[in-house]
Amino acid sequence: METNFKYPILYTFRRCPYAIRARFAIRSSKIAVEVREIKLQEKPSEFLKSSPKGTVPVLITKSGEVLEESLDIIKWALSINDPNKWLAKGKLENHEITKLLDDLENKFKPNLDKYKYRNRFFGVDQCLFRDKNLNFIEKLNSYLEKNKSLNCEHLTFLDYSIFPFIRQFRNVDQAWFDKLNFNYLNKWVNQIIDSKDFSSIMKKFKKWEPNDVPIYTYFD
């Protein structure tokens, strides 16, 4: 059902890696959205009404479709406009890309949580979960040995979809991470961190309240 929104609505949380990757794609596609920054500890009822599962990011299109998965938001944005060729075909087959993203979500991220949020997982050996992720980052480093990006000659949606999680992993103990000497991966992370893309999508927005004047942006 068509809504009366001027622009699609994006519920987001600044530091969430899933929300970060969705914002990257929205910026790349230059699609304006109404941004609603929320706190995960106090989810607004409007947000939960649209998406009872209660995770960010959530995008509500102008036709009222609710996208509750970051990868769906990325695909939606890039299918409308892909000026930076983030969907370009590279050396990886589709099933390899899917496997990489599945491993990120179902293996890397749970290990990262146990490593990063040590007080939530009391009694767990964090180093064990940190080291379980070495295979994954080693694989990324080997992909980056041949190219500046994971799949193509240029950075694509795959790089921006994986980057926020690698950044979080690195930030838990950067001195340890740097000593691994995954030089290609370090260069790749730093290249994105130092980019205008990253500073733009990490800009701070005030917490959204229902009666606020809407904030429209494409994270430029």
Ligand X SMILES: N[C@@H](CCC(=O)N[C@@H](CS)C(=O)NCC(=O)O)C(=O)O
Tell me which residues touch ligand X (CB under 6 A): 16-18, 40, 54-57, 69-71
- Nearest distance from C-beta of residue 49 to ligand X, angstroms: 16
Residue among 54 and 64 whose Cβ is closer to ligand X: 54
Residue among 10 and 144 whose Cβ is closer to ligand X: 10
Residue among 20 and 192 whose Cβ is closer to ligand X: 20
Residue among 144 and 166 whose Cβ is closer to ligand X: 166
- Nearest distance from C-beta of residue 169 to ligand X, angstroms: 14
Residue among 18 and 198 whose Cβ is closer to ligand X: 18
- Nearest distance from C-beta of residue 104 to ligand X, angstroms: 10
- Nearest distance from C-beta of residue 183 to ligand X, angstroms: 29
CA distances from 175 to 80, 138, 206 (A): 41, 17, 32
| Crossing angle of the two packed helices 109-116 and 157-172, in degrees rounded to 10 | 20
- Nearest distance from C-beta of residue 131 to ligand X, angstroms: 23
- Nearest distance from C-beta of residue 181 to ligand X, angstroms: 29
Are 3 and 59 a contacting pair, CB within 8 Å?
Answer: no
Q: What is the dihedral of CA 157, 159, 160, 165, to 10 degrees?
A: 140
* Pairing verdict, β 9-12 and 216-217: unpaired
Residue among 18 and 182 whose Cβ is closer to ligand X: 18
The residues facing 217 across adjacent strands are 33
